Amino acid sequence: MSRSSRFVRISAALLLGVTVVASLGGCKVFRKGPRGDYALNAEQRPLEVPPDLDLPDTSGAMAVPSPGGSPAQLPAAPADSQSGFTVAGGQRDQVFERVGAALEAIEGLSISNRAQLLGSYDVSYQGESFLVRVAAVRGGAYVSAVDPRGVAATSPAAVQVIASLQATLAR
């Protein structure tokens, strides 16, 4: 072995040793003392959640209502107006069918759509389109005309249809 190759090997080993000591000497793994968030000052520690607050309250989660509970209350009938009236004592579905028959009897009125689940007829009369709606209320069913904006229809055609329906259903 030549003297220069031996010198190079020793230098390389020494350089490697110094590099390892320098890089690992500053590592926290080799330091002694407290570790983790609990070792920080009180102002720097993360908040601790008490054990009873880390889960939601489930005490009333499986409460089943009693079978004799009261049914949902129907809304009170609005006061009769030129755009609607109340049919006393009738179920909504029965009144819906009667309104459909009365609408078909009105000359010049066309029903473009009927939705029994919604209780509405989409009608056109004298060039105007509006909904005739039947809603269940306390003591009967409320029949009303609603314009495309969702407010009570007060156009002459709608008022005329509601007046005709009221006269027909009163019999």
Q: What is the pLDDT of residue 37?
A: 67
CA-to-CA distance for 10 and 8, rounded, in angstroms?
6
Nearest-CA neighbor of 158 among 120, 131, 136, 119? 131
Q: Which phi-psi region, left, alpha or beta, contains residue 116 (left: φ > 0; alpha: ψ -120 to 50)? A: alpha
Q: Which two tokens stand for residue 42?
A: 């009180």
Q: Residue 121 has what pLDDT?
A: 94
Position 27, amino acid = C
**CATH tag, 84-169:** 3.30.310.170
Q: What is the distance between the alpha carbons of residues 55 and 128, in angstroms, rounded to a whole number?
A: 58
What letter would DSSP give residue 123?
A: E
pLDDT at 16: 85
pLDDT tens string, the chain, 171 residues long: the values are 577 788 888 888 888 888 877 777 666 655 655 667 667 787 887 777 777 777 777 777 667 767 766 666 666 656 667 778 988 887 889 999 999 999 999 999 999 999 999 999 999 999 999 999 999 988 889 999 998 888 888 899 999 999 999 998 887
What is residue 161's predicted lDDT score, i.e. its pLDDT? Answer: 92
* Residues facing 145 on adjacent strands: 132
Q: Is 21 left (phi over 0), alpha (psi -120 to 50) or beta?
A: alpha
Of 98, 171, 104, 111, nearest to 141 by C-alpha is 98
